[in-house]
Structure formats: C-alpha cells, structure tokens
Amino acid sequence: MDAYLKAAIIQGIFETLQMTFVSSFFAYVLGLPVGIILYVTAKGHLFENKAVNLFVGTIVNLLRSLPFLILLVVMVPVTRFIVGSSIGTWASIVPLSVGAVPIIARMVESSLNEVPSGIIEAATSMGASPLFIVFRFILPEAVPSLIFGAAINIATILGFSAMAGAIGGGGLGAIALQYGYYRFDKVVLWTTVAILVVMVMVIQESGSILSKKIRKT
C-alpha cells in the first residue's frame, strides 16, 4: 500500500471518530430529552399527555423511517446554513446528529420503561414531585441500561458516518468508497472495512462492560 494511502487511512480513522463522537454528543443532547418526553407522556406515566406523546412519537417515527441516505440529501440546505458547506467531516455531523435523534429517543424511552413501576409508586408515596421522581428515581435507576443503549447507538452512528462518505463526508467511509471501490483497490477497501468492524466491536464491548460494571442489580 502506498504511503499516501496509509496516511489517508490514518486521517480517516480520526475523522470517523470525530464524526461519530461529535454527532453522538449532539444527538444525545437532543435525543435524551425527546426520549424522556416520550416516556413521561405515555399512558399511565407521570405526565400522561396523549396529544404531546402522539405528536412527538409521530415525528420520531417519520424521521426513523426516512432512509439515512435520503436524509443526507434533504439536509444539505440546513447543513450549508449551519456549517457553511455541505461537504467534509463537519458537514456530515449535522445530518448524522439529526438522523440519530429518533433512534436515541426510542432507545432512551425503552431504557426508562425498564425501571420497575414499584420504584415510582414508592417515590410517589414519599411525596416526591413528578420532576424529582424522573430525575432522582427513574433516570439514576436506568443508567446501566442507558449506557448499554448508548453503545448500540454510537455503533449505529459510526455505521451511518461511513455512509456519509458517499455524499462528500470524510472519514473511512469516504476512503473505502473513493480509493477502494471506485479505483478497484481491494486492499484499501477491505482494510478500511476491517478497521470499521474493529471500531464497532470496541465501542459495543466497552459499552457492555461499563454497563455491567456499574449495574448493581
């Protein structure tokens, strides 16, 4: 493999990590509250509200069913507005973040649903306010499950980031496509794919280990 390809792959690794973790961060900043809203407004929950739940739930479902590649294209004007350009690593962070929000929201909702209702009943009987119950009872109890879910989500975002390479994003995905696929360089293609596989495995495993370690049940 030529030296310039090696350098490109190494840079690609950093770009991929950057895209993945920066997007995950922004996606969680938005997805966590949305997930909490989905959970608390559901039937029988603390802030039961059919209208809000249906509204937020529908948007989440719409975004989730939209193929990511389509979202990438649809988002181009928004990305240009925010980043000033529609190509490059930073440009792909915008659609990646947006695309991950509904996935994260559903994952958070499911983690919160795992908290036994008895805990909430106990909290209510203690005279805790609904907000106190959400932030001091439900969320802390869900932390191990939230971390396990985060590992799955970050791995998914990493996969998406490779796809972003197709429309001008950076990272390993772009290298695999441009140097590997279009130039029929099988070594580059499979090297980048192998690196992506290892990265996903490392993220998933560290998430599982961390989740297990802090789970006290």
Partner 1 sequence: MSDQRKVFELKNIRKVYRNEGREFIALDDVSLDIHEGEIYGIIGMSGAGKSTLVRTLNRLEEIESGQIQYFGQDLASLKPSELRKVRRSISMIFQSFNLLMQKTVIDNVMIPLKIAKVPRKERKKTAEEMLKIVGLEDKKKSFPSQLSGGQRQRVAIARALAANPKVLLCDEATSALDPKITEEILELLQEINRTRKLTIIIITHEMSVVEKICDKVAIIDKGKLAEAGDVKEIFTNPKTEVARNLVLKGDGKDINPYDASNPGSRIVRIAFDGLSANEPFISNLVEDTGRKVNILSANTKSVGGIGFGQMVVELPREREDQQVVLDYFKSKGLSVTEVSA
Q: State which residue, 74 or 214, has the beta carbon closest to partner 1.
A: 214
Contact 200, 159 (CB under 8 A): yes
Select from 34-42, 141-149, 180-188, 203-211 the region that touches partner 1 (CB under 8 A). 141-149
DSSP single-letter state for residue 167: G
Write down the least CB distance from residue 129 to partner 1, Å: 6
Of residues 85, 140, 182, 212, which one binds partner 1 by CB under 8 A? 140
Assigned token pair, 103: 């996935």
Binding string, 75-94, against partner 1, x = CB under 8 A? --------------------
Instruction: Supply 2's token pair.
Output: 């030529």
Residues 14-33 that bind partner 1 (CB under 8 A): none
Report the nearest approach of partner 1 to the CB of residue 135 (Å). Answer: 12
* x-marked contacts with partner 1 along 144-183 as a string, rule CB under 8 A: x---------------------------------------
Position 217 contacts partner 1 (CB under 8 A): yes
What's the CA gap between 84 and 90, in Å, rounded? 10
Interface map 108-137 toward partner 1 (x if CB under 8 A): --------x-xx-xx-xxxxxx--x---xx
Nearest to residue 12, comparing CAs of 202, 195, 213? Answer: 195
Instruction: Give the tokens for residue 173.
Output: 């995905």
Torsion sign over Cα 185, 190, 193, 199:
negative
For residues 28 and 184, is the Cβ–Cβ distance under 8 A? Answer: no
Please report where in the chains the tokens 């770009």 appear, as a residue. 15
Please, what is the minimum distance in Å from the beta carbon of residue 85 to partner 1?
44
In the complex, minimum distance from the CB of residue 117 to partner 1, in angstroms, rounded to a whole number: 9
Which tokens is 175 given?
């290298």
Is residue 58 within 8 A of residue 153, CB to CB? The reply is no
Q: Residues in the site for partner 1, rule: CB under 8 A?
A: 116, 118-119, 121-122, 124-129, 132, 136-137, 140-141, 143-144, 214-217
